[in-house]
Amino acid sequence: MKLPHMRRRTRLLRNLLLALLLCAAAWLAMGCPCFTAGAAFRRMEKQYLTGGPAEIVATLDARTEYLTVGLKDDYVLIAANGRVSTDILADGLLRIPYWAPGILRCFPRKEESTLLFCGNYRYDASYSRADPVFFLLDRHPEAAEAEMTLRLAGEVELNGVSVAFDETYSARAARVGEGIFLLCPPAKETEQMSFGWQRERAMFNRIFGSIFGRNDSLPVFEAAVRYYDAGGALLAEERVAMDARMI
Amino acid sequence: MEPRRGNAAAADDKTPAGAAHERIAAWSRAAAREIRFRPDRKAVEAELSAHLEDRAQALLASGMGEDEAAEVSVAAMGDAREIGRALSRIHSPLLGWLWVASKWLVVSALCFLLLAARADWLASGFLEGSTSLEWSGAQLLKLPAAEPVRAGDYRISVRRAAFRNGVLWVTVRAAGAPWLGAPKALASYLGAADSLGGVYGENTDENGAAVRYAGERRALFWYEYDVTVSPCPADAAWVELRYDRMGVRFALCVPLSEGGEP
């Protein structure tokens, strides 16, 4: 069958269109990956039927994952997207990085300051292991820094042994977006001021695992936060709510 | 431009040969050399040669000598450089190189598609799924021709339902664009209510009345979830699947008997 003769300009357009279609088919074959963390967050919003786009207020690069925090009037959305590199050709000769939609955690938003635990992530290059990530949701837009004290008391099973604990920790928090603080990772020199991630991490993870897993044996939980302005002056001091129940 | 073979090839005894052929080739080469887009030169040269040799062959047939026929043909074409410059305007280098690039683009895109399809992405891909429901042998319920309900970017509908031994089996389909992916919250947050006032919770209740996830399938434009609603009273006229979370709310009715719509 003889194809109709086409002018070079027409053939050029045909080829461009064909290449575009082939690329679209390849993207489809790849499972329609997202190429930015923001796009992955927006797609997850649709997948989780959140009823409209949230305002993205903070992002946290946790190496292999990317935490994105979105605020709506009634909800807080925290997405963990995996940053994936897929080798098209062996030995990384052709590698395509993209964002895989992961987990979207939805919390009800409250009037008071709220502590949100969103899992363990490696969000600091100096850490060899993943650490708990806490976001503090606030209603003090003028606050530049915050300090939180947290008292935990109860009993937890560690390696088959029941351990009673009653500890009070403190941690500083830095603003990462409008309406949201990230509890700072403990610097080595100020370890004693921190939540004690290094020493108490296993217990901490277990405790918050219990809370997160809706375990019945919840520990005593008391938390308070002090907000400071940019000059270091105390703005407010209030109790912190922690509703680990996601919706 | 495709090279054209003249009738000269079919008539060896009358083909301009030797010096005549060389004269035609030299003229064609000189004209083609004026074309700035090099990849086109060979094809243009072949086209011009074929044309001139056809013309010379016609002159040969009329009784003219070989050398004279070649000379007359070439002379009729005019100045080789002038013709070449005119052809050069048609064979623009910009358009030419763009066309060459577009060919490589198509080849690259095709290779990329084949590699992408070969990768594990498709292995977990479309038209697959699992279900623990045994639809074969179950008597399907007659569903009303209802319009799908809208939930976000998905269109939700009940594809099929069966009722057996106090368990209602339902396949819920969420149709949407291929790039949307699975509606992850759908199966997890479905509740139900029946016409007798019974309420069925989400997956969490193992022993009581509950809507439970039982499997899923997917294709390019839709996802299907199988859920069971149990224990369902046999005298209920209908069961309504309900979703109400984060401001998104819809209900899908499954009549258990003829005319059993709420």
Alpha-carbon distance B166 to B194, whole Å? 12
Interface of A with B (CB under 8 A): 8-9, 11-12, 15-16, 18-19, 22-23, 25-32, 43-44, 46-52, 74-75, 86, 88-89, 94, 101, 104, 106, 247
Omega prior to B178 cis, within 30 of 0:
no
Q: What confidence tens digit (pLDDT) does each residue in A62-103 have?
A: 767 788 889 888 888 988 887 777 666 666 677 777 777 788
What is the residue-averaged pLDDT of chain B?
Answer: 81
Radius of gyration of chain A (CA): 23
pLDDT(A5) > 70: yes
At residue A65, the pLDDT reads: 76
B31 within 8 A of B81, measured Cβ to Cβ: yes
At residue B32, the pLDDT reads: 92
At residue A199, the pLDDT reads: 46
- Pick from B121, B172, B190, B203 the residue to mutate for testing the A interface (most A CBs within 10 Å): B121
A104 DSSP 8-state letter: E
Tell how strand A145-158 and strand A220-228 pair up: antiparallel
pLDDT(B10) > 70: no
> What mean pLDDT is predicted for residues B80-104?
91
Residues with Cβ within 8 Å of A57's Cβ and at least 6 positions away in sequence, in order, are A69, A70, A71, A176, A177, A178, A179, A180
Q: What confidence tens digit (pLDDT) does each residue in A27-49 have?
A: 887 778 888 888 889 999 999 99
Q: At what angle do helices B80-90 and B19-32 cross, to 10 degrees?
A: 40
Task: Compare all CA atoms of chain A with the CA of B94 and give the residue at the minimum distance.
Answer: A9
- Please report residues of A whose CB lies closer than 8 A to that of B105: 15-16, 19
Nearest CB neighbour to B116, from listed A30, A44, A247: A30
Give whichever of A28-42, B136-150, B170-184 has the largest mean pLDDT.
B170-184
Better-scored residue on pLDDT, B9 or A9: A9
pLDDT(A186) > 50: no
> What mean pLDDT is predicted for residues A216-220?
53
CATH code, residues B125-255: 2.60.40.10
Q: What confidence tens digit (pLDDT) does each residue in B180-225 have?
A: 888 988 888 888 998 888 888 765 555 577 888 888 888 888 999 9
At residue B5, the pLDDT reads: 43
Q: Which two tokens stand for residue A192?
A: 């004693």
Better-scored residue on pLDDT, A223 or A194: A223
Tell how strand B222-230 and strand B167-175 pair up: antiparallel
Q: What confidence tens digit (pLDDT) does each residue in B26-55 have?
A: 999 999 999 999 988 999 999 999 999 999
Task: Compare all CA atoms of chain B with the CA of A50 and give the residue at the minimum distance.
Answer: B246
At residue A106, the pLDDT reads: 86
Pick from B228, B238, B166: nearest CA to B201: B228
At residue B106, the pLDDT reads: 94
Nearest CB neighbour to A75, from listed B102, B153, B246: B246
Alpha-carbon distance A145 to A120, whole Å? 23
What is the residue-averaged pLDDT of chain A?
Answer: 75
Q: What confidence tens digit (pLDDT) does each residue in A139-153 have?
A: 888 888 888 887 777
- Please report residues of A whose CB lies closer than 8 A to that of B110: 22
Q: What confidence tens digit (pLDDT) does each residue in A220-232 have?
A: 677 888 999 888 8
Alpha-carbon distance B29 to B138, whole Å? 80
3-state secondary structure of A117: strand
Better-scored residue on pLDDT, A97 or B110: B110
> What mean pLDDT is predicted for residues A204-222?
55
Whether A104 and B184 lie within 8 Å, measured CB to CB? yes
Q: For A14-18, A48-52, A80-84, B132-136, which range has the lowest pLDDT when averaged over its residues?
A: B132-136
At residue A34, the pLDDT reads: 84
- Please report residues of B whose CB lies closer than 8 A to that of A29: 113, 116-117, 121-122, 125
- Please report residues of B whose CB lies closer than 8 A to that of A44: 184
Which residues of chain B form CATH 2.60.40.10?
125-255
